[in-house]
Structure 1
Amino acid sequence: MNPTEVDAYLRRLGVQHPAWPTVEVLRELHLRHLQTVPFENLSVHLGEEIVLEEERLVDKVVGARRGGFCYELNGAFGALLAALGFDVTLLAGRVYGDEGRLGIPYDHLVLRVRTVDGGEWLADVGFGAHSHYPLAFGARGEQEDPGGVFQIVEAGSDAAGVRGGDGVVKQGGGEAADLEVRTGGRSQYRLELRPRVLGDFVAGAWWHSTSPASHFTQSLVCSRVTEEGGRITLSGRVLKATSADGTREERELETDEEVLEAYRERFGIELGAVPVVRGPDRSG
């Protein structure tokens, strides 16, 4: 990213250009990203191509003022962090489904970030409901966050809720490969520690955009963290607002005008027509 693109991205987030890539800066950028750039799968249903190239991702998030899902959001955010001087590594994860089954390889993209004032952090602005701030990568105890209580543990350990060594692999340097990210007593996803590049995730993005088994092809979602610490979500025509204390309101939007207004006013997304679920591409 060039300086002009960096400045435009920071304006999108509503933050000043930081002097140094510190943990406090990372925390601010992480939270502001969740508040201003929605987690959404509209491209899947609008027939828009998802291209995992840095320039295209930044143009979508900054130029078009859109959101995206994990590959797009964490891909763009990682590019911004690297341009600001953070040491960023892309990692691949596999998300646990409702029945405790792991998703496809390259199911999820997250960021391992090192700051100049020490420490490594797990940054993830592309999972939907997740931690509001980066998680300490090396910590194995519980980490309290406005989004819940989180824990990063070695896969296969009892603490991770996964027994047996079937998922534990060794990589160069002797570092155990898989980690589990947990919250609320459940494993959210399993992480490999091998560094990846954006191109590694192309097949995963294609699968999530086209497969009948992908939840992204079956429903519409647009969601972000609110400035008060809650969450607002538009699922099809149902608008849901959850406050920081857990109070929840839900209502169905009856007209197309109401839906378009919600996208515009609540998420900053301008659309010419209401997106509808297209369903998976079964041609393959």
Structure 2
Amino acid sequence: MSLDGSALDLDTYFARIGYRGSRAPTLETLRALHFSHATTIPFENLDVLAGKTPLLDLAPVVRKLVDERRGGYCFELNMLFSGVLKALGFRVTDLIGRVRWKSPADIVSARSHRVVHVDLPEGPFIADIAFGGLTMTGPLKFEVDIEQPTPHETYRILRRGQDFELQAKLGEDWVSIYSFSLEPQAPVDYEVSNWFTATHPNSIFVQHLIVARPAVDRRHALLNTGLTIRHKDGRVETRQLASVDEIAVALRDYFGISLSEDQKAASLAPHFARWKTMVV
């Protein structure tokens, strides 16, 4: 794994996410970059479905997410965002968490979600542009037991023994997203988790198509053949996609991902019949 900053051209990255603001390492810049990145580069696992383990060197991540205008999952997305922040002069620590979303309280999940910790004069913050359908659109101050609004949901951080837990408020309910510690992670820690996530037969990313991107006033999500649009005013639109070609059109129109015929054949076609029969 290489974190060579020379692989990252900031002008090209800023053009990719449509960012024209300040490059000073300030809270205002962090908030603006977080929103622009989250609402532009989608969460997706198409490479995993094609039988590929995503590469975690910075150069191939930049090539895929920036040059090829694709998306990725947390190890790729938060790696890129961390690299950008470091290049701008932010003080960054890379962390890892255990996913709690839709998981029974007594189940201990593996450490499989990359998280970014940022130190600012205003205090420490948590940044995360890579949690699928609940990707945060703004950073959170690392302070427990306070409700923190973002451009989309309201979040809070709770203390859980030696660890911490991120929760989101959905309607009137608080739901757990993931737990994490403040132990800095070495690159090899992500390599191990990435390999497990991309190859284990029970991994949700091996079994399901998962694509998501928040927009200014809504969230777009694609789970297998089900397309969902959740508006900030509470309206929900759903549609079942009837073919591989319909999925490809949805990927292009709602997530900005254009697939070649070879990519459709590798990532979508082998799984489509099974997805049509699955209840998730």
1:64 paired with 2:68, answer: yes
Q: How many residue pairs were aligned?
A: 256
1:245 pairs with 2:245: no
Q: Which amino acid aligns with 2:159?
A: E
- Which of the pair is proportionally richer in strand? 2
| Offset from partner CA, 1:131-153 (integer Å, 9 cap, x none) | 32100013431212243221112
Check whether the contact 2:53–2:198 (CA below 8 A) recurs between aligned residues.
no
Consecutive unaligned residues of structure 2, counting only runs of 5 or more, are: 275-280
Q: Deviations along 1:49-89, whole A, 9 cap, x unmatched?
A: 31112222122111111111111110111001111111111
TM-score of the aligned structures, taking structure 2 as reference length: 0.85
- Deviation string 1:92-120 (CA, Å, 9 cap, x unpaired) is 1111252122211x3111000123x4321
- The one-letter code sitting in structure 2 at the alignment partner of 1:183 is A
CA displacement 1:123-168 (0-9 Å, x = unmatched) = 0111121432100013431212243221112213xxxxxxxxxxx3
Q: CA deviation at 1:219?
A: 0.6
Choose the corresponding residue for 1:143, options 148, 159, 163. Answer: 148
**Is the contact between residue 201 and residue 207 of structure 2 (CA under 8 Å) also seen in structure 1?**
yes
**Contact 1:53 1:198 survives alignment (8 Å):** no
Shift of 1:211: 1.4
Provide the residue aligned with 2:192 in structure 1: 203
Note if contact 2:8-2:59 (Cα within 8 Å) is conserved in structure 1.
no
The alignment status of 1:102 with 2:108, answered yes or no, reads yes
Query: Structure 1 residues 102 and 4 mapped into 2: Cα distance closer, same or farther (>3 Å)?
Result: closer
Matched, 1:38 2:27: no
CA contact (8 A) 1:10 1:17 kept: no
1:83 aligns with 2:87: yes
Is 1:272–2:272 an aligned residue pair?
no
Q: Distance between the aligned counterparts of 1:215 and 1:57, measured in 2?
A: 21
The separation in 2 between residues aligned to 1:4 and 1:41, in whole angstroms, is 22
Q: 1:216 aligns with which of 171, 181, 205?
A: 205
1:74 aligns with 2:59: no
Which residue does 1:114 correspond to in 2? 119
Mind listing any 5+ residue stretches in structure 1 that lack a counterpart? 157-167, 169-177, 280-284
Residue of structure 1 in register with 2:177 after alignment? 188
Bigger helix fraction: 2
1:236 to 216, 224, 235: 224
Pairwise CA RMSD of aligned residues?
2.0
Q: What secondary structure is seen at the aligned counterpart in 2 of 1:50?
A: coil
8 Å CA contact retained: 1:37, 1:66: yes
**Secondary structure, aligned partner of 1:107:** strand
